[in-house]
């Protein structure tokens, strides 16, 4: 492989503080780009550098996610039809969820959805997610012992989730071979 020329592109996605100064922590993805020749044919290989600052995620968490969730009121999901076999196929249930909709959804906007850490990682978290999902349902068993038709709802109230993601690049004899 022989590089005939190099093309570099950079894109900075940053939200600044009111003083016009970027926040201290930044998530950086750096990749090279360019043109190269292989077996006499020129191939194009393009990537981009992206810098994302913590204030970007703070603004997304406060100004984008809550209105997005509130706008999902009565968002209709795909109908679900399936069969559940129980007791070595001696009993089965055919069921259908029809008119599956998000009736309401909200989230606490104060903690950011993503937090950039000093340990070369991020924390993905949300607090106090509340979501109400409603649907019409019907089921019948085979043999026909059980059957029902009605309306069901699933309420997720004040649900929180947090996970930490860290990355590490190993080089040398223990690292990846390219």
pLDDT at 158 > cutoff 60: yes
For the stretch 97-121, pLDDT in tens is 999 999 999 998 888 899 988 877 8
Contacts 24+ apart (CB under 8 A), 91-94: 91/141, 91/142, 91/143, 91/145, 92/141, 92/142, 93/139, 93/140, 93/141, 93/142, 93/146, 94/139, 94/140, 94/141, 94/142
Average pLDDT over the chain, rounded to an integer: 75
pLDDT at 48 > cutoff 70: yes
The pLDDT, as a whole number, for residue 87 is 85
Alpha helices in the chain (DSSP H): 54-63, 65-70
The pLDDT, as a whole number, for residue 53 is 87
- Report yes or no: 48 and 9 within 8 Å, Cβ to Cβ: yes
The pLDDT, as a whole number, for residue 18 is 40
The pLDDT, as a whole number, for residue 151 is 96
pLDDT at 76 > cutoff 80: yes
Distances, alpha carbon 105 to alpha carbons 3, 58, 61, 68, 140, in Å: 51, 20, 15, 9, 31
Range scoring the smallest mean pLDDT among 15-24, 44-53, 63-72: 15-24
Residue located via tokens 């550098």 = 49
The pLDDT, as a whole number, for residue 133 is 92
pLDDT at 150 > cutoff 50: yes
């Amino acid at each position: 492989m022989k590089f005939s020329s190099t093309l570099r592109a950079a894109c900075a996605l940053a939200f600044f503080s009111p003083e016009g100064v970027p926040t201290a922590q930044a998530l950086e993805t750096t990749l090279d780009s360019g043109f190269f020749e292989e077996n006499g044919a020129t191939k194009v290989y393009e990537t981009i550098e992206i810098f994302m600052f913590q204030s970007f995620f703070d603004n997304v968490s406060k100004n984008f996610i809550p209105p997005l969730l509130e706008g999902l009121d009565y968002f209709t999901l795909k109908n679900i039809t399936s069969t559940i076999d129980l007791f070595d196929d001696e009993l089965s249930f055919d069921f259908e969820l029809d008119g599956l909709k998000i009736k309401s959804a909200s989230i606490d906007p104060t903690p950011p959805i993503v937090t950039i850490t000093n340990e070369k990682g991020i924390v993905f978290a949300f607090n106090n997610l509340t979501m109400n999902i409603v649907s019409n349902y019907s089921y019948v068993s085979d043999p026909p012992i059980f059957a029902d038709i009605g309306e069901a709802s699933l309420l997720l109230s004040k649900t929180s989730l947090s996970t930490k993601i860290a990355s590490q690049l190993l080089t040398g004899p223990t690292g990846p071979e390219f």
